[in-house]
């Protein structure tokens, strides 16, 4: 049995659609949706508040009750990468304990958490929550997996960078001796140098957005990098419906869709069914976006042209060396299946657009304007005492 975890749009009709699919397919199941409240929420998660539906505890409780009646559980996300250290204060710890009681009363029985400190607080509480380690924990090897196993966790979401490293996935599976979960529609770049910093930005903005510059800084730069080289599109860490079989053969049973920020306007049930059926005819990028495009700068990729792409990764456990300039496999394959002229035009268009619309750059330009910016005199006269 393959189990799928979906971002919650908190729409009961979507739950009905999942329930119908669960009855049609005997080897796949939507087992849970996940998300968090945004009204009177004081504990962050892995998505900016401005991207999520407005939801309070009363609405959450009604949604959970409806879902469970149809055999679908709910997982509450409190997976911020930081909480400004409030959990290390008596006041902050008490408030979090009280918060646990409120969501428990709302029907929550499982949590996705990133911070080990919060995991310990949950385990010390009187509530019998199951804990899943967030992808933000960056589980990249067997050693990290063992730590979470010793902590008593039920499930871990592995780092997206491992999605084509079947050798490491097997090792993690053996070390954890439990359920590991992979994100299947990730459009993050492999080995992204900005990922942890992006998580920190989102965690801060998941309670209250500081500025438009913060929410748009990383997505803009990510998109520009995506089209910088045609091979980068294939280096994104997505998993196609047709390739799910390689992961189940590796021992993986849980598959997670990301997209809490897009699911409400998309068609998640249609995306799920493609993975249930292990086949999708059409644009891969549209499927990964849950049929709700996240950007106007999009390239079309015929999913069926990628049928053999994953095979070298699966058949040769040492195939990927994370040295793309010398390997060129993804770039060469991309030349055969993606319109290079279209990618080059997208790269030019995106670059031109973000030159004119970049809130972060506008802040820099405003501060460094010659009429308004002067280095503090103290900085110019600073005398460093190295003794």
Taking alpha carbons only, the member of 20, 10, 17, 111 closest to residue 62 is: 10
* pLDDT score at 382: 47
* Residue 294 DSSP symbol: S
Question: Angle formed by the axes of helices 359-368 and 212-226, to 10°?
Answer: 110
Which of the two residues, 194 and 4, has the higher pLDDT score? 4
| pLDDT tens sequence across 80-135 | 888 889 899 999 999 999 999 999 999 999 999 999 999 999 999 999 999 999 99
Nearest to 2 by CA among 179, 228, 162, 232: 179
Helix (H), strand (E) at residue 4: strand 2-7
**Closest of 174, 175, 170 to residue 147, by C-alpha:** 175
| Backbone region of residue 304 per phi and psi (left: phi > 0; alpha: psi in -120 to 50; beta: other values) | alpha
Assess contact for 176 and 148: CB atoms under 8 A. Answer: yes
Contact 321, 164 (CB under 8 A): no
Helix, strand, coil shares of the chain as percentages rounded to 5? 50, 10, 40
pLDDT value for 376: 54
Which tens digits make up the pLDDT trace of 137-172?
Answer: 999 999 999 999 999 998 999 999 999 999 999 999
Is the pLDDT assigned to residue 372 strictly greater than 70?
A: no
Percent of the chain with pLDDT over 90: 61
| End-to-end C-alpha distance for the chain, whole angstroms | 66
d(CA 217, CA 13): 34
What pTM was computed for the model? 0.90
241-294 pLDDT, tens digit per residue, is: 999 999 999 999 999 999 887 788 899 999 999 999 999 999 999 999 999 987
């Amino acid at each position: 049995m393959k189990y799928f975890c979906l971002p919650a749009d908190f729409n009961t009709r979507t739950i009905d659609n999942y329930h119908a699919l669960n009855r049609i397919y005997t080897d796949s199941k939507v087992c849970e949706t996940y998300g968090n409240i945004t009204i009177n929420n004081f504990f962050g998660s892995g998505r900016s508040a401005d991207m999520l539906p407005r939801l309070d505890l009363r609405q959450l409780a009604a949604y959970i009750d409806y879902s469970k009646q149809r055999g679908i559980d709910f997982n509450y996300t409190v997976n911020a990468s930081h909480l400004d250290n409030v959990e290390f204060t008596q006041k902050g710890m008490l408030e979090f304990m009280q918060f646990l009681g409120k969501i428990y009363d709302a029907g929550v029985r499982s949590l996705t958490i990133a911070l080990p400190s919060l995991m310990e607080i949950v385990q010390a509480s009187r509530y019998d929550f199951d804990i899943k380690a967030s992808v933000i924990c960056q589980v990249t090897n067997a050693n990290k997996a063992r730590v979470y196993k010793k902590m008593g966790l039920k499930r871990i979401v592995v780092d997206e960078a491992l999605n084509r490293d079947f050798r490491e996935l097997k090792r993690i599976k053996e070390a954890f001796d439990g359920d590991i979960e992979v994100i299947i529609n990730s459009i993050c770049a492999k080995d992204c140098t900005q990922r942890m910093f992006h998580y920190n930005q989102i965690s801060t903005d998941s309670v209250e957005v500081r500025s438009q510059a913060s929410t748009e800084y990383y997505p803009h730069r990510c998109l520009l990098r995506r089209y910088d080289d045609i091979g980068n599109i294939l280096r994104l860490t997505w998993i196609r419906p047709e390739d799910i079989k390689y992961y189940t053969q590796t021992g993986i049973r849980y598959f997670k869709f990301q997209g809490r920020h897009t699911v409400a306007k998309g068609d998640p049930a249609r995306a799920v069914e493609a993975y249930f059926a292990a086949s999708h005819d059409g644009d891969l990028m549209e499927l990964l976006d849950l049929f709700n495009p996240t950007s106007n700068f999009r390239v079309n990729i015929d999913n069926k042209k990628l049928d053999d792409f994953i095979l070298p990764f699966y058949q040769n456990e040492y195939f990927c060396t994370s040295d793309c300039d010398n390997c060129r496999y993804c770039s060469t394959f991309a030349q055969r299946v993606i319109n290079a002229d279209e990618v080059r035009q997208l790269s030019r268009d995106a670059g031109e657009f973000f030159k004119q619309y970049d809130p972060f750059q506008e802040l820099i330009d405003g501060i460094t304007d010659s009429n308004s910016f002067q280095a503090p005199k103290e900085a110019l006269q600073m005398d460093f005492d190295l003794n």
